[in-house]
Amino acid sequence: MDRGPDSPKPRARWGTRLGFVLAASGSAVGLGNIWKFPYITGEYGGGAFVLVYLGCILLIGLPLMYSELIIGRRGGKDVLGALRALTRHRGPGGRILSVLTGTLAVGSGFFILSYYSVVAGWAIHFLVVSLGITSRSPDGAEATFLALVGSSALSVLWHSVFMLLVIGVVARGVHEGIEFLCSRLMPALVGILLLLLVYVGLTGGLALSVEFLFRPDFSKLSGEAILEALGHAFFTLSLGMGAMVTYGSYLKRDTYVVRDGVTVAVLDTVIALLAGMVIFSVVFAAGMEPGAGPGLVFVTLPDLFLDMPGGTLFGVAFFFLLLFAAWSSGLSLLEVVVAYFVDEHGFSRTAASWLFGALIWGLGLGSAVSGDFMDFFDNLTTRYMLPLGGLIIAVIAGWLLRPADREAGFLSLGDAGTPLARAWTLIIRFVTPILVLVVLLAKMGILDRLGFLRTGG
C-alpha cells in the first residue's frame, strides 16, 4: 500500500494485475452466466439469441466496461467520489449527476445482493443435497426445490450462510480478502467447467448442444429476446452499478485497463457459452426440451443428474461451480456499498462490511420467504436501475470527462490507441446511450404504449 504524504489513510490496492483480472472476472462470472444465460437462451430459441447477445456485449458491454474501469482508475475512489472528482470542472451539474449515479449504484448493490444471496443459497442447498448431507426428496428435484422455496426456514438458513461467506471476505480487505479468494475460486471454477465439458463430450449431447447454441434461427428472434439480451449484457458484466468503477479504483495508475477490460468481458462470455454447452448437453442427452425457464438449473438438471452415470459427482461439481461463481460476484456487490461508506463517510472496512452486510441480509429475508418480493427487487434493479446507471455513466464518460481522463486507458496501446480511442468515443457518445435508452423505455412499457414493440415481460 502506498501512503502519500498528504493522504491520511492508505487506500487499498490490488496486489497484482492478475489478481485484479481474476477479481473482476469473479464479479462478472456469476449466477448470470451459469443460471440465467442458459435458461434465457433456452427460452429464446438458441443461436440467434446468442448472436444478438454477443452484439450487445460488443456495443454496450465493452464500451461501458472501459468507461467504468477508467473512471475508477482516474478517480481513485468509490463510485460517487470518483465521479465527483472527475466531473468537478463541470460545476453543480457534474456534482448532481455524481450523487445521483453514486446513490443509484449503492442502492443497486444493496438490492441485488439481497436477492442474489437467496438464489446463491439455493445453490448451497443443492450442493448439500448432492453431497448426501441432507436427504433429497424422494419425489425428485422439483419436490426438493419446492420444499426449499416453500420452507422459509431453509431459505433463510442458506441465505444467512451465503451472506456470512460474503461479509467475512469483504471485511478482510481488497487484497487480503477479495483478491485472495478470487485467485483461488476462478481457476477452480474454470477447472470444474472444463471437466464437466469433457464429461458431456464423452457421454453425448454435446453436438446437439453446440448446434442449438451456434446455429442461428432468426425466425425465433423476437423484440422481447433482443431486449432481454441487452439487459443481460449489463447484468452479466456487472455494469451500471459501479462494481467496475470500485474495482478499478484499487488499480495502480499504470494499469492497462483496455486489455484487462477486454479480458474480463471475453472470459465472462466464454464461461457463459461453456456453461450453456454443458447444461444443454445434459438436457439434450436426456431427450428434453431446452426451454425449461428459471427452473432449468434447479429443477430440470438435478433430476437428470440422478439418471446419469456418475451423476452424483457431476451434480456436486456443478453446484460447486454455481456457488463459486455466485460467491465471487457477491463480493463485488457488497464492495460497492462498503467502499462508499469507507470513502465518503469514514467508516472502517470492518464496521461497514458487517453493518451493511447485516442490513442487506435483513432485506434479503423478504426474498427468502416470498417469491414476489424477490421478483420485485430483481425487476427494479435489472430493468430500471442498472440500465439507468449505465446510461448516466455512458453520458458522463462520453461527454463530461476531460479528454485526458477519458483517453488515458488507450495511451498504453501505442499507435493502435488513437483509432481505438476515437471509435470508443463515438460508440460511448452515441451508440451505447441510444441502445440503453431504448431498453429502458421498452422495459418501462413506454415503447409498447407507443406501439413500437411488443415486449411482454
Of the candidate residues 22, 28, 227, 229, the single one contacting ligand PHE (CB under 6 A)? 28
How wide is the angle at C-alpha 20 spanned by C-alphas 15 and 24, nearest 5°?
155
Interface with ligand PHE, residue 261, by CB under 6 A: no
CB of 381 to ligand PHE, least distance (A): 8
Q: How many residues are recorded in the chain?
A: 457
> Does residue 233 bind ligand PHE (CB under 6 A)?
no
To ligand PHE, the closest distance from the beta carbon of 452 in angstroms equals 28
Residue 238 in the binding site for ligand PHE (CB under 6 A): yes
Q: Segment contacting ligand PHE (CB under 6 A): 71-79, 87-95, 328-336, 365-373? A: 328-336
Distance from C-alpha of 274 to C-alpha of 191, rounded to nearest angstrom: 12
The answer to whether the Cα torsion of 420, 242, 229, 155 is positive or negative is positive
171 contacts ligand PHE (rule: CB under 6 A): no
> According to the binding rule CB under 6 A, does residue 353 interact with ligand PHE?
no
Q: Which of 67, 101, 236, 281 binds ligand PHE (CB under 6 A)?
A: 236
Q: 291: Cβ–Cβ under 8 A, 6 or more apart, which residues?
A: 42, 43
Q: Is 241 in the site for ligand PHE (CB under 6 A)?
A: yes
Nearer to ligand PHE by Cβ, of 40 and 408: the residue is 40
Exposure of 306 in the CB half-sphere (CA atoms within 13 A): 16
At residue 94, what is the residue type? G
Output the DSSP codes for 69-89.
HHHHHHH-SSHHHHHHHHTGG
Q: How far apart are CA 104 and CA 302, in angstroms?
A: 37
> Minimal CA–CA distance to 95: which of 106, 105, 84?
84
Which of 19, 32, 46, 47 is in the footprint of ligand PHE by CB under 6 A?
32
The span from the CA of 284 to the CA of 165, in Å, is 35
Selected range binding ligand PHE among 160-168, 174-182, 313-321, 327-335, rule: CB under 6 A: 327-335
Cell of 46: 438458441
30 binds ligand PHE (CB under 6 A): yes
Q: Does 382 bind ligand PHE (CB under 6 A)?
A: no
How far is the C-alpha of 22 from the C-alpha of 26, rounded, in Å? 6
Residue 146: count of CB within 10 angstroms of its CB: 13
Q: Is 284 in the site for ligand PHE (CB under 6 A)?
A: no
Told to check if 25 binds ligand PHE by CB under 6 A, we report no
Q: Least distance in Å: CB of 114 to ligand PHE?
A: 13
**Binding flag, residue 342, ligand PHE (CB under 6 A):** no
Applying CB under 6 A, which residues contact ligand PHE? 27-28, 30-33, 112, 235-236, 238, 241, 243, 329, 332-333
